[in-house]
Structure 1
Amino acid sequence: MEDIQRQWNSKEGILLCLIMMFVWKAVPAQIHYSVPEEMEKGSFVGNIAKDLGMDGKHLSDHRLRIVSRIGTSQYFTLNVITGHLQTSERIDREEICGKAEKCMLNFQVIIESKLEIYGVEVEIIDVNDNAPQFPSGKQKLKISESSMLGSKFSLPEAQDPDLGINSIQNYHLMGSSHFSLDVQTRETGARHVKLVLEKGLDREEQPVHDLILTATDGGDPMRSGTTQIQVIVLDANDNVPVFSQPVYRVNVEENIPKGSIVAAVTATDVDEGINAEIKYSFKKITEKVSKMFLLNSTTGIVTLVGNLDYEESSLYEFEVNAEDGGGLNDWSQVVVGIMDLNDNAPELAINFFINTIPENSSVGTVVALLNVQDQDSGVNGEVTCSIPSKLPFQLKKSVDHFYSLVTYDNLDRERIANYNILIIAADNGTPSLSTSAHISLQILDRNDNAPVFSEPSYMSYVLENNPRGASIFSLTANDPDWEENSRITYSIIEGHKKSILSSYLSINSETGIIYALSSFDYEEFREINFQVKAQDGGSPPLSSNVSVTFFILDQNDNAPEILYPSVPTDGSTGVELAPHSSEPGYLITKVVAVDADSGQNAWLSYQLLKATEPGLFTIGLHTGEIRTARPFLDKDALKQSLVVLVKDNGQPPLSASVTVTVVLADSIPEVLTDLSSISSPVDPQSDLTFYLVVAVALISCLFFTFLLVLLALRLYRWRNSQFCDSGSVNFSGVPVSQFVGIDGVRAFLRSYCHEVSLTSGSRKSQILFPIGSCTNTLTPQQACSQPDPLLTAGDSAIIVEEAVNSQVSM
């Protein structure tokens, strides 16, 4: 048994390979053979190999085998060496087919090497192997001596299971000249024999007549059977029993229970007394029928005593004899038809199947070979084989009751990796009966899916000054394939910035974690663009790329840089000039600073840390503009020193400071010797009482105040005109304005460079000072056209020795 199992396993392995290469091909042709029954075991039936056109020398390579109907006997074997079909046992046609006109045995032959199947039918030819047989024992027949000449009496008939010429052809009677035979042939071909009275009977002369009835068939050689008939002569009985109908036909279902009444026969006799008493009995019955039906001798009711099965026999025929008390009889035929019911579920056998199949298998690849049959007949035996409609498989019917399960659509392991295919074979009976079977099929993976990233592109934000070697980002890709086909490795694709990428970034090939090899500097570059490649381990490998962008975030790592006033390089001190007549809000100068950082780290604020005269000047918090907070007083020092702090908005904030010198002057003296010799007057203590008195006086004298204001305005205009009419002052140079972009910040730079030439005797001095951009500030042309009365008066010369070159950014 183990050897057979190993051979079958090896066959399955070979067939698996063949199934993957070929599509199942069913050949509808039938091979027909005819053999007589009762042949010896091993008798030659036909040469299958020759009829299939196969080479007999390499017959074993084709692997022929027979597939017969499920649950049926195997009457034939196939010689795999010679290719001959032989009988495996003695075949009895009458046992297999009964009275069927043609006896066919069907089976299939599979050529495993080609996956082809052929139908084979073998017709069993009847031979005269059965002699006619009469019922056992001596048959007794009672005939009244008053019977008229020509009267006919039924005789027991012989049975011969052979067909056609081999069945009963004639009857012969011997033993008495008083009788002859009347043989009648019915539509069915059966021959019925009756005894005919040729001479009058006389009981007193001869009460008993012994006859010999012989039945012969037409076979070669001819066979015969005999029985003894004893005719007992009775006293006169004028009337013969008569059945109500010559043939009783009934149809019953095969599932009726035992004890059910099948039929009821009725015969009447017009005689009286004992001659009218009728007894019923089987006249012509086989052993099979006698085990199936029981006849009530008094009532004529036929009762079922066996189990009916349409698949075993669809028709029962027997004859019933009615005999009165006087010995006269009549007979009638009973035909019982069995109606088929759907009492047999289809039989489903899987002759061949595979457990695994690659997902790239072509459409039409065979997965399994099936055989379905149903023992019922008609619609009850019509079987339909089906599988669920949503599966990528279909059933194709081939020869007879064979089906092949093939792929109907492309398989995708990533969508469904395993199939549990339910195959249902259902008949068309009412109610329908079905049988099911399962085939488990595993889909083998192929590298047909490239890795897919979870996002179409990636963006991330990284703070500058990051530590080296730190992980800054992680990305993953998924591959729905299996095992090696889904094992992903990551790499960075280096383009035209290869040196930058290799020095700043690296990626873990297994996890997809990106590390920073160097510290980033926002001021050096703001973003990094590159691509990451994900490649699987299939053969050939598949890959996909994704774009990654790192935005470098700024940190407050740069202190503000002051552009104006700039630190001089020649050791001089820069100053700003402010006239005494400046009104509150007069623009003195502007501190300009920038920050290399961005965002709030580059938001600058300005404040005065220190001033010679607190409260005299203010600075714009965000503009850096230094303006007068109040009018200048005579007690205010001519030289004001301001310390300005520039601070950014970072965390923590960074800052820078600058010192701005402001000189208060309403006019320029003719001789300027040294600006540093001017000292600031001591600020006297303010007299609160004086200001209170002035306030009261101003309130009391509104009209007088109004006149004073008008007078002050007139004097102010006159002083400005006197300052500009000085002819000894020469200004050279023109203010220059320009825009400079620093790190996205547009700054307005204003340069002040005015040369003032003063002459007093043989002494010349040069003063460099900025001119404010206020409406009250003189233009160079105005300054050149007005003489300076102070110079002519011979006051002390004020020389501004340090030039202030400023760049102001808005």
Structure 2
Amino acid sequence: MNKQIKLEDINDNRPEVIVTSLFSPVLENTLPGTVIAFLNVHDRDSGKNGQVVCYIHDNLPFQLEKSIDNYYRLVTWKHLDRERTSMYNITVMASDLGTPPLSTETHISLHVADTNDNPPTFSQASYSAYIPENNPRGASIFSVTAHDPDSGKNAQVTYSLTEDTFMGAPLSSYVSINSDTGVLYAICSFDYEQIRDLQLLVTARDSGDTPLSSNVSLSLFILDQNDNTPEVLYPSLPNDGSTGVELAPRSAEPGYLVTKVVAVDRDSGQNAWLSYRLLKASEPGLFMVGLHTGEVRTARALLDRDMLKQSLVVVVQDHGQPPLSATVTLTVAVADSIPDVLAGLDDIKNPDNSEDSDLTLYLVVAVAIISCVFLAFVVVLLALRLWRWHKSHILQASGRGLVGLPASSFLGMEGVQAFLQTYSHEVSLTADSGKSHLIFPQPNYAHTLISHESCEKNGSLLTPIDFQEGKDEAASVQVSSVFVYQYIISQMHYFLYKSMCFETCIMQKV
């Protein structure tokens, strides 16, 4: 008789976990409930020893869901954040229900892929920068940095300035920024007196498929430098270039306010703090200047020996480093009464004017030069004519001249004397300096060719001309000088005419 032997199963096999599918990496913007892995679990034991339970730790954004039979799926149940956790090590624990229970651990590595979900961020909400004026062009003035927690292209940041205008010009004409490093450069040299500050908006943008950006404000403040000299507002120079005159009566007591120097400085701070001091005075110790007020006062009582005209040089200096200064010259008229002041103002404002005497001197020099040139011209021309006459005379005497002409036909020394006598003029000055009588030659230019008869004609070529001068003596001297000049010019014309006549006579006789 056959007996059946039944073997009782003992729990001697551990559960087995097989990852059939794994979707890694997973995007960080994956929605909750997305399947990332499939698992197959089985146990070779039987009964309760073969029943397996799978689970994972609760602190992970994943959970296991049983599918069918011995299959499980690993799904997300919260949003992933690559910037917080870029990779997960998931431990899947499988345990049977045997006694004692046996378990198995399976490890799954899951990478989280980055998405461009973070814009660049600056370390501060706003920035401030300070630049001294008169900076060199192209100088680096500031630097900004933005950080993007994404990875790859999503973390590549470029910088730019928001387009805007300032004082009618684009901001790009004042400041530029390196798009890769965020370093700002000055395009121009800033002037504190024209630009005190600039408000900029810097943009940081990543290189993701859908780029994200952020902005930050930058206040650029220009610092003043001592680059402006003090400007004196009072006393101002008159338009005619003369020096203004301040009045101080001789009866003034010590401390009498004569005038006040007013100056400004376009700089700011201590660069615009001004101080006044007396640099030079024609009468030392007579006047003093307030250090901070610029008031010019008498330091002592005025004396009779003090000159009517007092000259003061006041220097205005700022407190910059290095200090800059300007000077102003004051003219103070000292007199007891207004008539005395008015009598001396002409000497103060209008020094000796020698324009009339200079004009007369120039006219005299001009007349002398013209007379010398004219005399030299006459001598040379006369010598040339005499030489030509002498040459023709020698030719006639040697028989190589023209035959048939008597020797008396040539012009001899008597002709020269007659020519010199004809070339004459009269200058008659009356005893009264107010009248002058000049006789000018009147040449006849009616015909180009001059006949022999015209050369021998003894008609007068001089015509008297009277001039009535003005009553003023200075004007009379100037008019006389002009007439003398005109007289010399007319004599030169007359001499040229006589020379042509002389030459024509000789040629006709030859």
- Structure 1 window deviating more from structure 2 (386-395 vs 426-435): it is 426-435
Query: In the alignment, is the contact (CA less than 8 A) between 2:140 and 2:184 conserved in 1?
Result: yes
**2:179 corresponds to 1:484:** no
Query: For residues 571 and 475 of structure 1, do their structure 2 counterparts lie closer, same or farther at Cα, with a shift above 3 Å needed?
Result: closer
Correspondences of 1:31-180 after superposition (within 5 Å): 134=1, 158-159=2-3, 161=4
Instruction: Give yes or no for contact 1:558–1:597 (8 Å, CA) kept in 2.
Output: yes
Q: Give, in whole Å, the separation in 2 of the partners of 1:368 and 1:670.
A: 117
Instruction: Specify the alignment match of 1:624 in structure 2.
Output: 294
In structure 2, relative to structure 1, the CA distance for the partners of 1:631 and 1:344 (3 Å cut) is: farther
Q: Does 1:444 align with 2:444?
A: no
Distance, in Å, in 2 between the alignment partners of 1:355 and 1:551 is 53
Higher Rg = 1
Q: CA, structure 1 residues 428+459, in 2 after alignment: closer, same or farther (shift >3 Å)?
A: farther
1:182-227 Cα distance to aligned partner (Å, 9 max, x none): xxxxxxxxxxxxxxxxxxxxxxxxxxxxxxxxxxxxxxxxxxxxxx
TM-score, with structure 1 as normaliser: 0.39
SS in 2 for 1:673: helix
Distance (whole Å) between structure 1 residues aligned to residue 342 and residue 249 of structure 2: 17
Residue 576 in structure 1 maps to residue 271 in structure 2: no
Tell me which residue corresponds to 2:281. Answer: 611
- Compute the RMSD of aligned alpha carbons: 3.0
- What residue in structure 1 maps to residue 329 of structure 2? 659
Bigger proportion of residues as helix:
2
Q: Does the residue aligned with 2:169 lie in a helix, a strand or coil? A: helix
1:460/1:550 contact within 8 Å kept: yes
- More contact order relative to length (CA 8 Å, sep ≥ 6): 2
**Could you list the runs of 5+ residues in structure 2 that have no partner in the other structure?**
349-510
Contact kept, 8 Å, 2:120 with 2:205, in 1: the verdict is: yes
| Aligned partner letter, 2:276 | Y
In structure 1, C-alpha distance between the alignment counterparts of 2:147 and 2:342, rounded to whole Å: 84
What residue in structure 2 maps to residue 200 of structure 1?
Answer: none
Rate the CA distance shift 1:571–1:492 in 2: closer, same or farther, 3 A.
Answer: closer
For residues 591-638 of structure 1, the C-alpha deviation after alignment (integer angstroms, 9 at most, x for no partner) is 111112222222212111122343443322222222334444555555
**1:243-302, Cα deviation, whole Å (9 max, x unpaired):** xxxxxxxxxxxxxxxxxxxxxxxxxxxxxxxxxxxxxxxxxxx5x8xxxxxxxxxxxxxx
Equivalent of 2:74 in 405, 412, 424: 405
d(CA) in 2 for partners of 1:549, 1:623: 37
Does the CA contact (< 8 Å) of 1:494 and 1:530 recur in 2? no
CA distance in 2, matches of 1:423, 1:361: 21
Q: Deviations over 1:360-393 (max 9, x none)?
A: 2111111112234556788877755333333221
> What residue is the counterpart of 1:99 in the other structure?
none
Q: Within 5 Å, which residues of 2 pair with 1:720-739?
A: none
- Does residue 313 of the first structure (1) align with residue 8 of the second (2)? yes
Q: 2:123 aligns with which of 454, 467, 470?
A: 454
2:32–2:79 CA contact under 8 A, matched in 1: yes
Q: Is the 8 A contact 2:308 2:344 kept in 1?
A: no
Corresponding residue to 2:222 among 540, 552, 555: 552
More strand by percentage: 1
Aligned to 1:16: none
Is contact 2:243–2:330 with CA below 8 Å preserved after alignment? no
Residue 260 (structure 2) aligns with: 590
Q: Take 2:57 and 2:273, find their aligned partners in 1: how far apart are those partners?
A: 72
- Show the counterpart of 2:213: 543
Report Cα offsets for 1:506-549 as digits up to 9, x if no partner.
22221222222222222222222232222221112222222222
**Alpha-carbon distance change, 671 to 632 in structure 1, aligned in 2, over 3 angstroms:** closer
Aligned residues of 2:231 and 2:264 also touching (Cα < 8 A): yes
Q: CA 1:671/1:661 → structure 2, altered by over 3 Å: closer, same or farther? A: closer
Cα distance in 1 between the residues matched to 2:38 and 2:313: 101
* Structure 1 stretch displaced more, 526-535 or 441-450: 526-535
Aligned match of 1:395: 64
Check 1:624–1:429 CA distance in 2 against 1; reply closer, same or farther (3 A cut): farther
Partner of 1:528: 198
- How far apart are the structure 2 equivalents of 1:566 and 1:424? 99
Distance 2:192 2:341 in 1: 54
Q: Does 1:565 align with 2:235?
A: yes
Specify the code of the residue in structure 1 equivalent to 2:296.
I
Q: Structure 1 365/571 Cα, relative in aligned 2: closer, same or farther at 3 Å?
A: closer
Change (3 A) 1:672 1:462: closer
Q: Report the more deviating stretch, 521-530 or 570-579.
A: 570-579
1:633–1:356 CA distance, 2 compared to 1 (3 A)? same
Shift of residue 657, structure 1, vs aligned partner: 0.4
| Structure 1 gap segments, 5+ residues each | 1-133, 135-157, 162-285, 289-311, 315-339, 679-810
Hey, what's the Cα distance between the residues in 2 that align with 1:387 and 1:632? 111
In 2, Cα distance between the equivalents of 1:588 and 1:399? 114
The percentage of aligned residue pairs carrying the same residue is: 62
